[in-house]
Amino acid sequence: MVRSPRATLAYAVRNPRSFDIAVLIVAISAACSAGFLMTRVGQLAALDQQVRQLESFGFAITDDTYQQLRGVVPYRPLVSAAFIVIGWPILWIASALLLQWFGNRIAETRATFPQVLTVVVHASAILALRAVLTAPVNYARESLGGATSLRSVMPAFGESTFTGRLLGAVDLFAVWWLVLIALGLSILYHARTLPIARWLFGAYAGGAAVLALTQALRGGV
């Protein structure tokens, strides 16, 4: 998917098979995430992330709230792994159903659900790569999240500003994932990649903008 994405996706469309690669992606991602959160650095980073997230939504962190958050930290590795193992397949299936429904309505070519699901899952190999790369980076930064956000390459904007929150909500690997999905769908539906990518990027950008605006309003910015 990194060196020859078009050839890989073209083969996947002709031979729809997603279970084995899905298991591999989930296993790698869950192991990297849970492994980092089992370290002391990861636990402190998870606690700091929880505090900052609540504060970004306008919540005041009292001593009791802080102690409650500390009590949850030991369970974060299990929660994170469970979210990946359970949540990602649900996301893949829901995304494939939506993309198939939309694609079959506007395109002349008809695609099967296994074909669309194969595109989504194969594109998600990039997310496993992200997990492998960010685990040591987060450990070195002593921080959780944000290592692959757009704000990490554009640090001039403050974290508390709307622009900073918007850039922080855009993950570069998620953008890469969408590009690969658009490429796979263009192969599947015999269509141009750019129009498909525009629709996907528009939906993603809209979600990021809503999240950033919500945080800015609740945070009093």
Quick one: pLDDT band at residue 208, thresholds 50, 70, 90? confident
Backbone angles phi, psi at 188, to 5 degrees: -65, -40
Average pLDDT (95-114) is 92
At 42-52, the pLDDT tens digits run: 999 988 888 87
Q: Which pLDDT score, from 0 to 100, does residue 165 have?
A: 67
Q: How far apart are CA 53 and CA 61, in angstroms?
A: 11
Average pLDDT, the chain: 86
Average pLDDT (128-153) is 85
Structure tokens at 71: 């009590």
Question: Are 33 and 80 contacting, i.e. CB atoms less than 8 angstroms apart?
Answer: yes
pTM: 0.86
Flag whether pLDDT at 83 surpasses 70. Answer: yes
More confident residue, 143 or 99: 99
Average pLDDT (22-26) is 96
More confident residue, 1 or 155: 1
33-37, 111-115, 207-211, 216-220: segment of lowest average pLDDT: 216-220
| One-letter identity of residue 40 | R
3-state SS of the chain is CCCCHHHHHHHHHHCCCCHHHHHHHHHHHHHHHHHHHCCHHHHHHHHHHHHHHHHHCCCCCCHHHHHHHHHHHHHHHHHHHHHHHHHHHHHHHHHHHHHHHHHHHHCCCCCCHHHHHHHHHHHCHHHHHHHHHHHHHHHHHCCCCCCCEHHHHCCCCCCCCHHHHHHHCCEHHHHHHHHHHHHHHHHHHCCCHHHHHHHHHHHHHHHHHHHHHHHHHHHCC
Q: Which pLDDT score, from 0 to 100, does residue 68 have?
A: 85
Flag whether pLDDT at 221 surpasses 50. Answer: no
Q: Which pLDDT score, from 0 to 100, does residue 217 have?
A: 61
Q: How far apart are CA 31 and CA 77, in angstroms?
A: 9
Question: Are 178 and 201 contacting, i.e. CB atoms less than 8 angstroms apart?
Answer: yes
Average pLDDT (136-160) is 75
Q: How far apart are CA 191 and CA 182, in angstroms?
A: 10
What are the boundaries of each domain within the chain?
A: 5-219
Flag whether pLDDT at 183 surpasses 70. Answer: yes
